[in-house]
């Protein structure tokens, strides 16, 4: 996906009705020794980092349970859409664990330190509407009879992104992600570098030409 230039947006959805991702299989985990558990969690954290590093926008469609590593998967995405009936939470402390695949870092960056601490310390599960009210998800929608309301809303969101200039969107994502980790002056420098890479693109020229000619732009990602 990372190297396929035809990919503009990546959606994460489940094929299992009522469950986005239920997290680790604790019965499987119980059979591992300490070293195996450590390796398993490191590999899981690396996977989430790879998802977060995808250059195109990513959207998690949460139509059911997103618990533990399942919510960490959603947090690794850029955008999240949840059915109002979905249940999500970093429930690791209820099992004698703590989030180990990025949850302790991505949740506070998403909802703020205070709320993140409350959710992680209590292991609380929240529904889609509660998640929306605290900024954990971008949209909360009523579930439909097919059980894929979040996916349908995520698909509509993806279709809003698709017509935009692909390289500009990628640079925008890069500037935001890198800029959030540094002070604002350094962030401005990162934005400037990303903007400089976008200036010579054919899409920028096409965008200007389309504006002058009062027509929709035809972006090609170059």
Residue 62 DSSP label: E
What order do you get walking across the sheet with 10-12 strand by strand?
10-12, 58-62, 79-83, 139-141
Strands 87-89 and 126-127 come out as antiparallel
Active site residues: 24, 69, 72, 92
| Percent of the chain that is helix, strand, coil (3-state, to 5) | 50, 10, 35
> Hey, how many other C-beta atoms are within 10 angstroms of the C-beta on 154?
28
In angstroms, the CA 217 to CA 207 distance is 6
Determine contact, residues 186/192, Cβ cutoff 8 Å: no
């Amino acid at each position: 996906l990372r190297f396929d230039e035809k990919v503009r947006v990546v959606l994460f959805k489940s094929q299992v009705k009522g469950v986005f991702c239920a997290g680790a299989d604790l019965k499987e985990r119980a059979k591992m020794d300490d070293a195996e558990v450590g390796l398993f969690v490191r590999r899981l954290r690396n996977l989430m980092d790879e998802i977060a590093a995808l250059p195109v926008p990513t959207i998690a469609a949460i139509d059911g349970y997103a618990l533990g590593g399942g919510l960490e998967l959603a947090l690794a995405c850029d955008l999240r859409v949840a059915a109002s009936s979905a249940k999500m939470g970093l429930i690791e402390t209820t099992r004698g664990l703590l989030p180990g695949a990025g949850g302790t870092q991505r949740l506070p960056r998403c909802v703020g330190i205070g709320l993140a601490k409350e959710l992680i310390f209590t292991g609380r599960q929240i529904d889609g509407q509660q998640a929306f009210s605290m900024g954990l998800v971008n949209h909360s929608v009523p579930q439909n009879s097919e059980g894929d309301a979040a996916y349908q809303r995520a698909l509509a969101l993806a279709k809003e992104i698709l017509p935009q200039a692909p390289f500009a969107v990628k640079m925008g994502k890069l500037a935001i992600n890198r800029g959030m980790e540094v002070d604002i002056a350094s962030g401005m420098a990162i934005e400037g570098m990303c903007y400089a890479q976008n200036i010579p693109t054919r899409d920028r020229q096409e965008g200007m030409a389309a504006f002058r000619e009062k027509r929709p732009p035809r972006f090609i990602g170059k």
